[in-house]
Structure 1
Amino acid sequence: MDKPTTERIKKLHPLVREEVITIIKECDESLTGRAKVRITQGLRTFKEQDSLYAQGRTKPGKKVTNAKSGQSIHNYGLAVDICLIIDGKVASWDTAKDWDNDQIADWYECVKLFAKHGWEWGGNWKTFKDLPHFERRFIYINGREVNSTWRNLAKLPKDKEGYVVFTG
Structure 2
Amino acid sequence: MRGLTHFITTWMLIILFVAIVFMIYQEANQPETVYVGEEATEASELHPVVEKAKNDLIDQASEIDIDVIITDDVRSKERQDELYARGRSKEGTIITHAQGGESYHNYGLAIDYAIKDNNGNVIWDIHYDGNDNGESDWFEVAEIAKDIGFEWGGDWQHFKDYPHLQMTFGLSINELQKGYRPPDK
TM-score (norm 2): 0.70
Distance 2:50 2:165 in 1: 12
Q: How does 1:1-168 map to 2 (within 5 A)?
A: 11-30=45-64, 32=65, 35-87=66-118, 89-138=120-169, 147-156=170-179, 164=181, 166=183
Q: What do residues 103-135 of structure 1 show as CA deviations (whole Å, max 9, x unaligned)?
A: 221111111110101111111111111111111
Which one has the largest radius of gyration? 2
Q: RMSD value over aligned CA atoms?
A: 2.1
Aligned to 1:6: none
Structure 2 residue matching 1:15: 3-state secondary structure: helix
- Is the strand fraction higher in 1 or 2? 1
Contact 1:78–1:136 (Cα < 8 Å) also in 2: yes
The TM-score with structure 1 as length reference comes to 0.77
Q: Which runs of at least 4 in structure 1 moved beyond 4 Å after TM superposition?
A: none
Instruction: Read off the aligned partner of 1:19 and give its amino acid letter.
Output: A
Cα distance in 2 between the residues matched to 1:123 and 1:136: 14
Query: How big is the shift at 1:136?
Result: 0.7
Higher relative contact order (CA 8 A, sep 6+): 2
Q: Which amino acid aligns with 2:98?
A: A
In structure 1, what is the Cα distance between the partners aligned to 2:102 and 2:57? 25
Maintained 8 Å contact 1:53/1:65: yes
CA distance, structure 2, for counterparts of residue 95 and residue 38 of structure 1: 14
How many Å apart are 1:149 and its aligned residue? 2.5
Shift of 1:87: 3.2
Extract unaligned runs of 5+ from structure 1. Answer: 1-9, 139-146, 158-163
Output the amino acid matched with 2:122.
A
**% identical equivalent positions:** 35
